[in-house]
Structure formats: structure tokens, C-alpha cells
Amino acid sequence: TKTIRDALEEVIPAKQARLKQLKTEHGQTVIGDIKVEHVVGGMRGLKAMLWESSVLDPMEGIRFHGLSIPECQKVLPAAPGGKEIIAESMLWLLMTSKTPTEAETRQLSRELAERGELPEYVVQLIDSLPQSLHPMTQLGMGVAALNKESKFAAAYERGIKKTEYWTYTLEDSMNLLARLPALAARIYRNVYNPGKPIPGVNKDLDLVGNYVNMLGYGSNHDLTEYLRLYIALHGDHEGGNASAHTAHLVGSTLSDPYLAYSAALFALAGPLHGLANQEVLRWQLNMQKEIGDNVSHDDIKEFLWRTLQSGQVVPGYGHGVLRSPDPRFMALQKFCETRPELLKDPVIQLVKKTYDVAPGVLKEHGKTKNPYPNVDAASGCVLYHYGLTQFKYYTVIFGVSRALGCLTQLVWARALGLPIERPKSLSMDVIDTLVKSP
């Protein structure tokens, strides 16, 4: 059976040739304008970055190498005994642009499991951190510390050719992906169940199967399936979002994958980005506390207006690119719709009811360009239902997932020889001059 590295070796030369051709034939072709609003508006919509694994359409949402979420759900192999996409089949697709066979998926699971144990010094580091340190801070620290083992950094120090960069980047990426579950599970154990034994990595399980097992929920098949889907769907959301862009920027300096991904995690830890899933649940539970279980649509409307009038954002709604309900939100809602026990859960019902009224309220409020839910609106309530109630931990799960896309891009950036990022910044004086005589 082919390994992921074999599959990459097959596809890299054609992509390299295609990029070379693009540069020589179209290096000077104009594909967009830069307006002052881009310079002062967070570069929203500016087409200025190469990212192969996924593209986000404002109306349709994300496609992974051209495949929509329902298409991925049809063709990507699940775990033995499961139905949902798993991290390995998504990783294979992202990396190679091909759909893996069942055998390739299983082999990738085994390869990751074999690399999955944490080095002892990282265990000691994580165990020494205060229990009250936010789980995302701990995750970023643990990932950065893993760079002691970086094959890329060691090879670079020894002196290697540029054409070899991607192979060491892949090696580091695989080790990092493999170790994220043990790292993330150790953080969970230390913060919420100190002293509880953690099972070792089971070589026969997929990445998320092992993660759930190490979190202590291995016997819950439905939660395992939910997290498989969750982690596959959060894996990549094109390149411009803050975490993906951070990994790409830091990686472009030839910082190794551990450092680049650790930086990405600290971008993910912001409330406008990945931390929103923690915020959503806190906000929905506050709503429940204030107005009780039997909530009407009018009650929710009133609560939404109170949030907006106090100057806060409605967490889980709005998006930098999307202009319709996020298909990741829809896929997670669909997971609930097939399980009657989930539909009966008051918090899940509240999320659904909020979706019925929030777009109308946000439209009337008139500020956000996208009044629809993003993935964070739905992701936490199912975890809560299954007993994973510590919502400060939720962004860590997002962090385990986002590595799929960020590390894929690092491998490709090195395979394609992409340069260090260095956009031009302008002062207001310079903008004034340019505006007068463009």
C-alpha cells in the first residue's frame, strides 16, 4: 500500500511545473485591484496568497480540492465501524488532492499511531503548568516545545538542498499531527481530572479514536463519531483565516512546523476566531439561565438585541468571507437531526432556535455583512450533550483539527519553494500621497 509520502512524491512534480508556468506566463497579469479599504480593512477579499488544499466560496462555503462537504462525506473512508469522515482521509485528500482508498487510510492511521506518544520532556513541561492556565496557551506551549525534535531544523542546521525541504517538513508534520491527541488529552486530564490515568496510544485506532480514548470518552461511540466529523470539517478553511495565515507566514521564514503551528494556535485562541466556539456555549448557557428551558423565539430575539445593544458581537454568527449559512454548521446540525436523543437536548434546541431568529435580528441590526451562523455556532452544544462540558477546552479540539490544513500547506509551500512573506505596508502620509497621484 502506498504511503502518504509516496502519494505526494507522485503529485509534486506536476504542481511544481504548473507553478513555474504560471510565473513565467502570467507573472505580470493583473487579477485584482488594491484599494485603500484593503489597506485599512484587514485586507478583506484581497487576492494575495497561494493555497491549494481548499477554496472558500462566499455562497457555497468550503470545497476541499473541489469537493463539497457532502461530496467528501460520500467518498472519504470512515473508521472501521463508523460512518463519518476521519482526520486521516481528510489529511490524505488535502495533501495529495486524491481520495484515499480504505487501505491507504488504514495505513495512515497506523503510521500516525506509531508516532503518537509524547516525549517525556513535553509530558513534564505540561504537567508543570498551572491548572488555571488556559488550555489553548498550554497547547501552543506544548507544540512549540516539540520543536526540540524537529527533523527540519536539524537538517537545516546540517545543511540541506532546497529541494529536500519538503521531505523534512512532512516528517515533522506527521510527528506533530500524531502527537497532538496525546498532548491535547494530557492538557484536558491535568486541567479537569488531575491524576486520572491516561491510556496509551492504541495502534489499531484512528487518530480521533485515540484522542477520544485518551480524553476518557472512548466508550462513547456517538461522541467519537461526532469528533471525527468535527475534526475533519475544521481541518482547513482556505489560507487567509488568521490561524492558517499565521502558520503560513511563520513557516515562510523556514521556522520549523512546530513553531509555525504553535503561532497559528495563538491566532486561533482569539475570540473573533477559534475561541468563538467557547464563547458561543457560554452565551447560549447564559441565555438559558436567564430565560429558562422553555424559550420562545421572541425571548431569543430579545436576548439577541440585549447582546447587540451592550456592544458585544453575537458569537458564532458572521464571517470574513462567507455570505450564507456555513455548510460546516449545516453538517453538524445534520448529525443532530439523525439522533433523536440529541434533538431532545435543551441546549441543542436552543442553538437551533437561535438559528431560526438570529439572521433576521442581525439583518435588522444592519452591521454584519453576513448574518448567518458559522461553524462555531453549532460545534460546542453536541460536545456539551455528551458530557464534555468544559467549554474552555473546546478551542483545543479546533486546534487539533486545524493542523491538518496548516501542515499540509507548510509541506506544499516548501515543495513549491514559496518565498518568505513580505507585503508592503504604508503610512497614512504615503496613502495620502498615493491617493493624490495614484
**DSSP label at 219?**
T
Contact region with ligand FCX (CB under 6 A), list: 24-32, 218-226, 345-353, 373-381: 373-381
Helices 376-385 and 394-415: angle between axes, nearest 10 degrees: 130
| 368 belongs to the binding site for ligand FCX (CB under 6 A) | yes
- Given candidates 320, 325, 327, 380, which one binds ligand FCX under the rule CB under 6 A? 320
The secondary structure of 264-307 as a DSSP string is HHHHHTSTTTTTHHHHHHHHHHHHHHHH-SS--HHHHHHHHHHH
CB of 235 to ligand FCX, least distance (A): 13
| 314 belongs to the binding site for ligand FCX (CB under 6 A) | yes
Do residues 67 and 81 make contact, with C-beta atoms less than 8 angstroms apart? no
45: left (phi over 0), alpha (psi -120 to 50) or beta: left
Q: Determine whether 319 is an active site residue.
A: yes
For the record, the C-alpha cell of 359 comes out as 439572521
The contact pattern for ligand FCX, residues 17-56, with x = CB under 6 A and - = no contact, is ---------------------------x------------
Choice among 234, 273, 326, 385 that is catalytic: 273
Contacts with 71 (C-beta within 8 Å, 6 or more apart), sequence order: none
With CB under 6 A as the rule, give the number of residues binding ligand FCX.
22
| 370 belongs to the binding site for ligand FCX (CB under 6 A) | yes
Looking at this protein, which amino acid is placed at residue 52?
E
- Given candidates 360, 369, 432, 433, which one binds ligand FCX under the rule CB under 6 A? 369
- Given candidates 179, 248, 319, 402, which one binds ligand FCX under the rule CB under 6 A? 319
CB closer to ligand FCX, 202 vs 368: 368
| 315 belongs to the binding site for ligand FCX (CB under 6 A) | yes
CB closer to ligand FCX, 339 vs 353: 353
For residues 210 and 203, what is the distance between their CA atoms, to the nearest angstrom? 9
| 374 belongs to the binding site for ligand FCX (CB under 6 A) | yes
| 327 belongs to the binding site for ligand FCX (CB under 6 A) | no
CB closer to ligand FCX, 118 vs 404: 404
CB of 143 to ligand FCX, least distance (A): 19
Residue among 178, 76, 79 nearest 404 (CA): 178
CB of 372 to ligand FCX, least distance (A): 10
| 316 belongs to the binding site for ligand FCX (CB under 6 A) | yes
Contact region with ligand FCX (CB under 6 A), list: 110-118, 267-275, 389-397, 412-420: 267-275
Torsion 249-48-329-177 (CA) sign: negative
**DSSP label at 41?**
T
57: three-class secondary structure by DSSP: strand
For residues 88 and 107, what is the distance between their CA atoms, to the nearest angstrom? 9
For residues 25 and 34, what is the distance between their CA atoms, to the nearest angstrom? 22
The secondary structure of 382-406 as a DSSP string is HHHHTT---GGGHHHHHHHHHHHHH
CB of 373 to ligand FCX, least distance (A): 8
Q: Determine whether 127 is an active site residue.
A: no
CB of 242 to ligand FCX, least distance (A): 7
CB closer to ligand FCX, 83 vs 367: 367
Backbone angles phi, psi at 52, to 5 degrees: -85, -35
For the record, the C-alpha cell of 299 comes out as 425571548
Residue 67, strand partner residues: 64
Q: Determine whether 376 is an active site residue.
A: yes
Looking at this protein, which amino acid is placed at residue 87?
A
Contact region with ligand FCX (CB under 6 A), list: 50-58, 251-259, 271-279, 421-429: 271-279
For residues 24 and 13, what is the distance between their CA atoms, to the nearest angstrom? 17
Choice among 172, 206, 236, 376 that is catalytic: 376
| 367 belongs to the binding site for ligand FCX (CB under 6 A) | yes
CB closer to ligand FCX, 167 vs 277: 277
Choice among 319, 356, 365, 385 that is catalytic: 319
Binding site for ligand FCX (CB under 6 A): 44, 241, 272-274, 276, 308, 313-320, 367-370, 374-376
Residues marked active site are found at 273, 319, 376
